């Protein structure tokens, strides 16, 4: 015979969480909620790495004069897409995240992440990457390096 679970605060929180999740699934659909939950779990857990993760997005947004929300949630082209590509590159370079986790985080396919990372491998090649992208890349990286240096 199964034990009856006491109605503790912990159990109340679990029930409340389940109810919120159920309501969200009804309102937004299972696939959308699943993608968002996967994105949350793809994020770094270590406090410094989490801060670095958020600052990479922030620095990219500032450099391209776009919003952080657009980088994380939109499918816009132009500067938003370029800022997002910088994030892919720096997430791969500075965070312990696989291409798969980066793809989940930004709601993209791994092939899109891989193509971007291959483009950035040729960053020093004179003709492979737009000069403006190189300048912005350097500016973002300098901010990241300063943040890392100040945190040691």
Give the residue extent of every domain in the chain: 8-42, 44-151
Query: b vs e for 100-124, b when ≥16 Cβ sit within 10 Å of the residue's Cβ?
Result: ebbbbbbebeeebbeebbeebeeee
Q: 10-42 pLDDT, tens per residue?
A: 777 778 877 887 887 888 887 777 766 666 655
Dist CA 5 CA 8 (whole Å): 8
How large is the average pLDDT for residues 132-150?
A: 91
Dist CA 146 CA 104 (whole Å): 27
Q: 70-86 pLDDT, tens per residue?
A: 998 877 888 999 999 99
CATH topology of domain 44-151: Chromosomal Replication Initiator Protein Dnaa; Chain: A; (1.10.1750)
């Amino acid at each position: 015979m199964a034990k009856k679970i006491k109605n503790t605060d912990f159990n109340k929180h679990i029930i409340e969480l389940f109810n919120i999740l159920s309501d969200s699934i009804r309102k937004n659909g299972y696939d959308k909620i699943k993608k968002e939950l996967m994105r949350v779990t793809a994020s770094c857990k270590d406090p410094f790495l989490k801060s670095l993760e958020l600052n990479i997005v922030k620095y990219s947004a500032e450099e391209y004069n776009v919003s952080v929300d657009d980088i994380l949630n939109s499918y816009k082209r132009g500067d938003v897409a370029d800022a997002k590509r910088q994030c892919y590159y720096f997430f791969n370079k500075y965070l312990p995240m696989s291409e798969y986790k980066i793809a989940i985080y930004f709601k993209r396919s791994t092939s899109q992440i891989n193509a971007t990372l291959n483009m950035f491998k040729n960053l020093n090649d004179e003709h492979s990457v737009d000069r403006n992208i190189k300048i912005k890349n350097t500016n973002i990286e300098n901010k990241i390096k300063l943040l890392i240096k100040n945190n040691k």
